Amino acid sequence: MAMKAAAVFVVLIAVRAVYGADIIVGGNSGWSQGVDYDTWAAGQKFNVGDALVFNYGGSHSVDEVKEADYTACSSSSVIKSHTGGTTSIPLSAVGPRYFICSTIGHCASGMKLQVNVLAANSTQNPTPTPTANPPPTGTQPPPSPSAAAPSAFFTLNHFIFGASVATLFAL
Ligand SMILES: [Cu+2]
């Protein structure tokens, strides 16, 4: 039972590795004013399969925009706008993503985030080591005939010895 639970646990970890991590934007500061998101993002790795989680107050929003609108802090042609206090954005493709807060003045004061999404992180996925696998039982060599040889040889020696002794007595 314990082995089964352990196996399930390993599978869950493997699934976790495949599907990536939830990255809390801004860490404990969340999505708010007064955070340098360039500095924060520089300390993070964004991989396909991860998700950005924005935690924010009611005066903010998460608007995904194109690069030009990110640069200009323009919410005139938003790709998608999110509100509600918690927004999870799956990072499903390689490439840059741009987010701004649409509240007037917030983006201009630094409430803007760009991330560069890299390919799925392969270094975090444990690679099975071929040598760690036990050899399949089918390849076990059959019992060696040489194991029986010593006793047969011993018996033959006895036979020869016995025959020799018998020959000696016969003389
Ligand atoms: Cu805001």
**pLDDT tens track of the chain, all 171 residues?**
555 555 544 444 444 455 689 999 999 999 999 999 999 999 999 999 999 999 999 999 999 999 999 999 999 999 999 999 999 999 999 999 999 999 999 999 999 999 999 999 755 444 444 444 444 555 455 554 444 444 444 444 444 444 444 444 454
Calculate how far, in angstroms, residue 102's C-alpha sits from the geometric centre of ligand 1: 6
Half-sphere exposure of 29 (CA within 13 A, CB side): 10
Write down the pTM of the prediction: 0.63
Calculate how far, in angstroms, residue 44's C-alpha sits from the geometric centre of ligand 1: 22
80 located within any domain: yes
Q: What is the pLDDT of residue 89?
A: 97
Calculate how far, in angstroms, residue 152's C-alpha sits from the geometric centre of ligand 1: 91
51 located within any domain: yes
61 located within any domain: yes
13 located within any domain: no
Quickly tell me which residue has 């444990």 as its tokens: 126
CA pair distance 164, 97, nearest whole angstrom: 96
39 located within any domain: yes
Q: What is the pLDDT of residue 4?
A: 57
Q: What is the pLDDT of residue 35?
A: 97
Calculate how far, in angstroms, residue 96's C-alpha sits from the geometric centre of ligand 1: 21
Q: Give the CATH number for residue 78.
A: 2.60.40.420
125 located within any domain: no
Amino acid at 157: N
Quickly tell me which residue has 């890299």 as its tokens: 118
Q: What is the pLDDT of residue 158?
A: 46
Question: Any idea how long the chain is?
Answer: 171
3-state secondary structure at position 7:
helix
Calculate how far, in angstroms, residue 26's C-alpha sits from the geometric centre of ligand 1: 13
Q: What residues flank ion ligand 1 with Cβ within 5 A?
A: 60, 101, 103, 106, 111
Count how many domains the chain has: 1
Segments forming the whole domain that contains residue 97: 22-117
> Which residues does 93 contact at the CB level (< 8 Å), separation at least 6?
48, 117
Calculate how far, in angstroms, residue 106's C-alpha sits from the geometric centre of ligand 1: 5
* Pair type for strands 95-100 and 86-90: unpaired
Q: What is the pLDDT of residue 104?
A: 96
The helices-and-strands tally (H runs, E runs) of the chain is: 4, 7
And the tokens for 70?
Answer: 């990110």
128 located within any domain: no
Calculate how far, in angstroms, residue 19's C-alpha sits from the geometric centre of ligand 1: 29
163 located within any domain: no
